Structure 1
C-alpha cells in the first residue's frame, strides 16, 4: 500500500502569507530574521495565540445547539454554513466555508521554534525562558487536541492503537515528511507535551490583558479534559479536582453581572479562544431542544440568551472579544462529577454537580432540583450530567466534542421543509480532511 505522507513543505507559502507585526516573525529558514531575545520570543508566541482560529466555535453548526432558518440567518451565513449544518459532506456548495487545518500547523510551527530555541533565548531570566517554552508545549498540544477531535474518530469509539488520526508536527523543519499518526500516538504526544509544560510553567496568574497565556493551573485543566476524552476516569477525576481545589470560584448567576465565560469572570483560567465570534452570532438562533433543557428557575436561560418570542432566542454569551474562553471553573466541576460517577462514587458525583447548580438556580427552586438529583439512578445521573454540560457549556465549543466522545446520538434538523438526519454513530461525526491538505498530499484521503 502506498505510504500515507504529509509533506510540510507546502506550509512555506502559507507562512509567508501571514501578516506579522514584526520582522522577526518571518522565521528562518523562510524569512530573514531569527528571534533572539525574550521579548522577541514573547511577541512570537503572542502571534501564535492570536492566530488560533475559532474552529471549536464553528462546531456549533455540526451539533444540536443552533438552528439555521431563513428568518434568523443572513444570506451570507446560509451560503457559508448551511451544508456544514446539515452534514452535507463531500458535495458541499462551492461557497461553503471549510474547517481549519493550515493554521493549526502554523501555530505548531511557532511553538516548535520556541521549544527548539529555548536555551538560546537571551535577555531573559531562567524563569521567563522556562515559561515561554512551557507555553509553547501547551500550544503545540492544544493544536493537536483540536485537530484530532475534528479529523479523527473519537478515542472512545475506535481502537486508538490502530486507527489513523492526524499528522503530529513536532519540529520546525518544514522539509519533514510526516505520516498520519494513530489516535493513540496523538493523545500520547498531547499528554507528553502537557507533562513537559508542567515542569516549565511558573506563572500562577497573569494580569488583565495577558490572561490569554497558559499558566500553571492550565496544566491540570488541560490534562483533565484530555483524560475525560480518553475515558480515563481516575486521572480525569484527579486533575479536575485539583483544578477545583485551587480555583473553585463560580459566578453566582442570581447576582453576578458577568457571564461565566467572560474573560474577566471569576471562573476564567485561560482565555485565548474567541469561540463564538460575531459572525456565528448572526447566523442562527438557539435550538429549541437546548432551550427546553433549562428548568424553571435556571438563571442561565435569561442570561445566556435573548428571547425574541417564547420559542425564539438568540445567543448573548458570545459575539465579541470579551467572551474569550478556553478553560473555566465550571467545566471541571462537571468533569469531576462525570468521572466520579463512572468510578461509582455517587456521593462526589452528586457533590460536584450540585455545587455548580447552587450558583445557577434561583434559591427558591434549587432544593427541588437537588432532591431530584439525589434520587436519580446511575444511568439517570449520567444523562443529567450530559444535559448539564449542554446547558452550562453551550456555544463554548464543547457540545460537538461531547457528542462525539459519549453516545454519538442520532440528530435531526429541518430546513425549508427538508429533514436531515445524522445517524447514530454516523461516520460524519468525524470531519473529512480539508481538500487543500489532500491536494498537497493525496495520501491523506486514504483509509
Structure 2
C-alpha cells in the first residue's frame, strides 16, 4: 500500500473553497497521486480513480493528522493588525493589503489580503475523518489510536475556538445563548450549508470535544520537534485559556494547575544562552502548532510606541523580543520557521495570576505567580524593585498590572486583540496614508465580519 503524503492531502483540501460542496471533499480526502506539486492545483484534474488510495492503518491516519498541522494557521498572528501593538509601516511593500484592516474598515477594498477562514475548516475536515474512522483503523495499538483520536478532538475544538474568537462577539454569559457564533462542523455532510450556531452552542461543542480529548489522551508532553502535536499539557493549557475567555476563573485556574503539574519551567532571560521562550525548542514551549508572528505582516509593521513604553530599560524582553534601528522597533518573533508557539508556560502563570486576582480570595498567590514570571524576565536588581511594587498592590491595581504584563510578555503572539475584546475594549487610534481612524471603546468593530468570500459560499453567514 502507498503511504499517504500530508502535502498531497493538503493539496486536495486546498481545492475545496466552499463548505457547501462536501461531495467533492469526501472523495478528494482519499486521493493520492505521487508527484503532484503543491504549486499546481490544475494537476489534480488529471487524477484518475485508479490512482486513489483509501487510508486504513494508524500510520495512514497519523500522516493525515500531520497534513492538518501543515495547513499553516495565521489567524492569531494576523489579528495583531487590529491592536495597539502595531504601527503599519507606510513604506511596507504589502502595507496596502493590510490598510483596510488597520483602519477597521467594514467594507474592504480590492487590495485587502483575505483574513483566514476556510483554513480552519480544512483542519476540521481532517479531524472529523479521523474521529469517524477511529474504530476502523488497522495495525496501530490501542494507545496509539486513542492518542491520535484525542488529538483530533482537540484540534477540532481549537479550530472552532479560534473561529469563534475571530468572527463572533466576545463571550458574555448574559447574551451568549442568543449572540451569533460560527458554524459547528462535526461531520462531513455532503449536502448541508452549515448554519451559524450561537456563541454558547459553539462553546458547548468545544468543551465537549476537550472532555473527549482528556478521555483518550495518554501522552503528557511531546518532546521538542514533535510538540506541534497535542499532548495532555497542551490540552489543559488551552482549556485554561478557554475558561479564562469565558470569565470562569476557578475553572481556568484548575486547568492551568493541572498543566503545571506536568511542566512548570520558565526560560530565564538572565542566562546568556537562553533560548527564546517562543522558540519551539524552549523549555516552556509545550504546543508549537502555529507561527508566532507571520513574516508577511512582520515585514510591514513596526512596534507601537505604546507597547515599547510598557517596558523598563532593565526589562530583558526589550532587547531580546525586539530590534531597534533608526528610532523605531521591529519584532524578532516569527522571523524564522522555528518560532512556532501556540502555548507556553508563561501564559499559564499569567492565567493563574489573573484568575487568582479576579477571584480575590488569595491575592498573595496572584502576586506570587506574577512575580515568578517577572523574575525570569527582568534584570535582578530591577526585579527586587518590581517585587516590592507588586506586593503592595490592591486588587484593581493588580488586575491592571497583569493585563500590562500579558501585553509585554505575549506581544505579537496573537493574544492582544482577544485580550482587548474580552476585557476593556479600549479606544485605539491608527493613522495611515493621511487618514486617522478611532476604534472607540466598546466599538462594534471589535467583532470582525466574516470574509465576503465565506459569505458568498455560505449564505447562512449573512447577518
CA distance in structure 1 between the partners assigned to 2:459 and 2:216 by the alignment: 39
1:413 aligns with 2:434: no
Q: 1:52 deviation in Å?
A: 3.8
Shift of 1:54: 0.7
Partner of 1:217: 233
Question: How far does residue 157 in structure 1 lie from its aligned partner after superposition?
Answer: 7.7
Say if 1:119 and 1:17 are closer, same or farther in 2 by CA, change over 3 A: closer
Query: 1:191: which partner in 2?
Result: 207
Corresponding residue number in structure 2 for 1:354: 371
- RMSD over equivalenced CA pairs, Å: 2.2
Q: How does 1:42-441 map to 2 (within 5 A)?
A: 42-71=62-91, 73-74=92-93, 77-90=94-107, 92-156=108-172, 159-255=175-271, 256-309=273-326, 311-344=327-360, 345-441=362-458
Change (3 A) 1:358 1:114: same
Q: Distance in 2 between matches of 1:379 and 1:18?
A: 52
SS of the residue 2:431 aligns to: strand
Q: Deviations over 1:74-121 (max 9, x none)?
A: 2xx21211111111122x220101211111111101100000100100
Contact between 1:166 and 1:180, CA under 8 Å: does it hold in 2?
A: yes
Deviates more, 1:355-364 or 1:374-383: 374-383
Unaligned runs of 5+ in 2: 1-17, 37-43
Shift of 1:413: 1.2
Structure 1 residues 316 and 19, CA gap change in structure 2 (3 angstroms)? farther
Partner Cα distance (2:344, 2:306) in 1:
25
**1:124 Cα shift?**
0.3
Q: Name the structure 1 match of 2:20.
A: 9
- Number of aligned residue pairs: give it: 431
Q: Which moved more, 1:255-264 or 1:199-208?
A: 199-208
The worse-fitting range, judged by mean Cα deviation, of 258-267 and 273-282 is 273-282
Query: Partner of 2:319: helix, strand, or coil?
Result: helix
Judged with a 3 Å threshold, the aligned counterparts in structure 2 of structure 1 residues 168 and 237 are, in CA distance, closer, same or farther, namely same
Conserved 8 A contact 1:229-1:405: yes
Normalising by structure 1, what TM-score?
A: 0.92
| 1:20 Cα offset (Å) | 8.4
Structure 1 position 36 matched with structure 2 position 60: no
Contact 1:259/1:317, CA 8 A, preserved across alignment = no
Gaps of 5+ in 1: 1-6
**Corresponding residue SS for 2:330:** strand
In structure 2, the CA distance between the partners of 1:12 and 1:407, relative to structure 1 (3 Å rule), is farther
| Residues 10 and 440 in structure 1, CA contact (< 8 A), matched pair in contact too | no
Query: What is the CA–CA distance in structure 2 between the aligned matches of 1:433 and 1:11, rounded to whole Å?
Result: 20
Q: Secondary structure at the match of 1:361?
A: coil
3-state SS, counterpart of residue 20 of structure 2? helix
Residue 177 of structure 1 deviates from its aligned partner by 3.7
Secondary structure at 2:229's aligned position in 1? coil
* Superposition TM-score, scaled by structure 2 size: 0.89
* Equivalent residue number for residue 3 of structure 1: none
- String of CA shifts for 1:393-423, please: whole Å, max 9, x gaps: 0011111111111111111112233221001
